[in-house]
Structure 1
Amino acid sequence: MNILQRIFNDYFEIIKYSMHPRPVELENIEKMLNCGDPSFGGAMYHCDCGEWKFVPFRCKSRFCPSCGNMYSIDRTTSMSFKLIKCSHRHLVFTIAEELRHYFLDDRTLLDCLFFAVKSVILRLFRKLNKTEEFTPGFICVLHTFGRDLKWNPHIHCLLSEGGTGNNIPWRKVHYFSYEFLRKSFRTALLKAMLSHIGPSFKSEINKNYLIHKDGFYVYAESNKCNPDIVIKYIGRYLGRPAIATSRIDDYDGDNVTFHYNRHENEKLVHETVPATDFISRLIRHIPEKQYKMIRYYGIYARHREKDKKLFRAIPTEKHFFLLAFNKWRESILSTFGYDPLKCPNCGKTMIFVELYYNHKRFSLQDYYEKVMTTKLVHT
């Protein structure tokens, strides 16, 4: 067990019966605790020299430090194929601190964040030429945590510095009005929240206009990076867990000590909190089941006719399944610099023999048919 699994394992009963977790929180906690447990199945590999190796299944939960990082790598790779070859800018849309609790009490309000960012960026580009209606490509990633693990919902956005018009193929855009971004984001978000919450929210709107006269803070400085560099930069924000195990310094059974760099001055801060508080801070950032934390807009949106034609030409799902099955090998090779399937005796590559699933043996073909049959039944 890693240190995060030990913390949650020690307090599992308290979490389950005293902390009243959401169903999705409990589900992800159980997945994380059982990640890599051989009793849940795995794959057997064999070498001609007689060496055997068993590789257990992973939990695939984004709450799990190892699986969450793997998810982040997958999304970064997927995004790199989506981006067009032009300069991009990294923007961060934040909200007023006094509004944060609304999004914690009602998580459906998180859609308002995406809606507000989308409307602001499209308005920004279409103001350039009302006839052309320039449309950029942008990808929004929702984060609900700050470096100190407290609830702080905000949007990271990767935006192309240019857009396509009705008649003009492409127009570069290097200047972004901070005043427009901040004030427009404040207005769009407050209006979206009003339509969702109702008239009772009007007093909160008036208060925010008085306190935040310059709008909500938006980071939009020019990164001056090509797509490859920006992808690696924003890849740190794609679906990663709220905390890496390397940031947890100590756990004595009662308290947890972790560290982070303060955002304002990058000063290193060590914080010690009761284990129950640490757990509470972490699990609140688990999103609802199948909630889309990453969304594509503009020319990156999937609903375009060109994309539909492209997806029809993609190989069958079985092809992707077989690729995904061996993806862990490539990930370990690139991350840690060694081949997990290299035989320790003779140095040859070990080959797949069979799968174990719920204590039963399957060939890869049998396992694939089982997975597909299950999908068809649920469909």
Structure 2
Amino acid sequence: MNILQKIFSDHFEEMLYTLHPRQVVIENVDRMINCGDPSFGGAMYICPHCENMKFVPFRCKSRFCPSCGVKYSQARSTSMSFKLIHCVHRHCVFTIDDELRHFFLDDRSLLDCLFQAVRSVVLRMFHNINKSKNFVPGFICVLHTFGRPLEWIPHIHCLISEGGFSDDGSWRTVKHFNYTLLRKSFQTALLNLLESRLGPSFKKTKALIYRKDKNGFYVYAKPNLSDTDTVIKYISRYLGRPVIALKRIDSYDGEHVTFHYNRHEDNAYVKKTLPALDFMRLLIQHIPEKNFKMTRYYGLYSRHREIDKSLYKAIPKSKHQLLQSFTKWRSNIILSFGYDPLNCPKCKHEMLLVELYYDHHRVSLEKLYERTMAKAKCRSA
């Protein structure tokens, strides 16, 4: 077990009866605790040369898991890179007032309003450039609900192309972003959406926010991302990553957890010690609801957009297969640790998959194939 698995395993029952977690939390925590446990299945490999055998346990594939979450982040960032147009992109972050955070925690369906507000203001900003031609950018929104101290702080990371296609197919580069418009428009759009969802009871809070944030909500831009490699590396840091990396957890004595972070304001090193249950509460609040889309594509990157973007793709199709291989288990081990996990440790020949095990049950490849084909026939029928 890694240190996070140990913490949640020791206090799992206490979490159930004290924190009353959502069902999706229970499922993700249970999967994370048992990630890599051989009793839940795995794959058996054998060396055809010396007959040496090796068992590789299955992983949980939960984004809450620190190891599987990193793999998910790599896969999603690679998938995103295939959609990018060959142009400069700008990374903007849309934040909200502290007074609004609890609304999104109490009712997680309101998180959709954040996406809708960002979509409307970005499209409006580009539409104002030339209303007759209707220039549309490509932009990708990623929801983050946590900060470095693990507090609940929902905000949107948005990757926007510095330019857009018009209705007649012409491209226009846009270097100047009107941040005054973005701040005020985002504030207005979000507050109006929340009022429509929450009703008249929200009007008092809405008026308070307008008095408090006269210049709109804070919207700031990260450095421009000019080349594709920089874009992929940059977005992989933000896309679907686990709430906390294992290296940030310094110690656990059975009752208290100590972790560290660099404060966002001044990058100062901060070490914090919390009771295990409080630490767990901080983490599980960031587990999204099942099937909730944390990443959404708009404008030129949306599925229904009719314009032919194949001529403008940043990554040619010839490189797709190479990049996709980097998201696989074997390639990740080679890149991270410098050795091939399927090379026999004795004779260095490549090992072959011979059997799969699911929950203590041994399944030969022939039976697995027959079972898969039978299921496929049932679906088609």
TM-score, length of structure 1 as denominator length: 0.92
Cα displacement (A) at 1:273:
0.9
SS in 2 for 1:353: strand
Deviation at 1:274, TM superposition (A): 0.9
Q: Equivalent residue for 1:315? A: none
For 1:291-306, list aligned pairs within 5 A: 291-305=292-306
**Closer, same or farther: CA 372–143 of 1 in aligned 2, 3 Å:** farther
CA contact (8 A) 2:87 2:226 kept: no
1:264-323 CA-to-partner distances (Å, cap 9, x unmatched) read 01111101111111000000000000110011111111123568x9xxxxxxxxxx9xx9
> Residue 366 of structure 1: CA displacement?
4.0
Count of equivalent residues: 367
Aligned pair in 2 of structure 1 residues 378, 246: CA closer, same or farther (>3 Å)?
Answer: farther
Residue identity over aligned pairs, in percent, reads 62
Q: Distance in 2 between matches of 1:190 and 1:329?
A: 47
Instruction: State the distance in 2 between where 1:306 and 1:362 align.
Output: 47
Q: Letter of the aligned partner of 1:297 in structure 2? A: Y
Residue 273 (structure 1) aligns with: 274
Displacement after TM superposition at 1:206 (Å): 0.8
Q: Give, in whole Å, the separation in 1 of the partners of 2:116 and 2:166.
A: 22
Alignment-mate amino acid for residue 68 of structure 1: G
1:147–1:260 contact (8 Å) kept in structure 2: yes
Which runs of 5 or more structure 2 residues have no equivalent in the other structure? Answer: 311-320
Q: How does 1:52-91 map to 2 (within 5 A)?
A: 52-91=53-92
Cα shift at 1:167:
1.9
Alpha-carbon RMSD across the aligned residues, in angstroms, is 2.3
Gaps of 5+ in 1: 310-319
| Residue in structure 1 matched with residue 357 of structure 2 by the alignment | 356
Q: SS of the counterpart of 1:82? A: coil
Match of 2:288 in 1: 287
For residues 369 and 327 of structure 1, the distance between their equivalents in structure 2, rounded to whole angstroms, comes to 25
Take 2:290 and 2:60, find their aligned partners in 1: how far apart are those partners?
15
Structure 1 distance, partners of 2:34, 2:142, is 28
Q: Is the 8 A contact 1:128 1:134 kept in 2?
A: yes
CA contact (8 A) 1:132 1:168 kept: no
Kept after mapping to 2: 8 A contact 1:178/1:220: no
Contact 1:248 1:259 in 2 (8 A): yes
Q: Give me the whole-angstrom Cα distance separating, in 1, the residues matched to 2:286 and 2:149.
A: 12
Name the counterpart of 2:3.
3
Show the 5 A alignment for 1:1-379.
1-47=1-47, 48-305=49-306, 327-364=328-365, 366-367=367-368, 370=371
Residue by residue over 1:208-236, the C-alpha shift from the partner in whole angstroms, topping out at 9 and shown as x without a partner, is 11000011011124425323202211211
Change (3 A) 1:372 1:237: farther
- Structure 1, residues 338-369: CA drift from partner, whole Å, max 9, x if none? 11111111111111112111222224464356
Which string of whole-angstrom CA distances, capped at 9 and with x for unpartnered residues, describes residues 141-196 of structure 1? 00000100000000011111110001252111111011111111101110111111
With 243-252 and 230-239 compared, the bigger mean Cα shift is at 230-239
| C-alpha distance in structure 2 between counterparts of 1:283 and 1:377, whole Å | 38
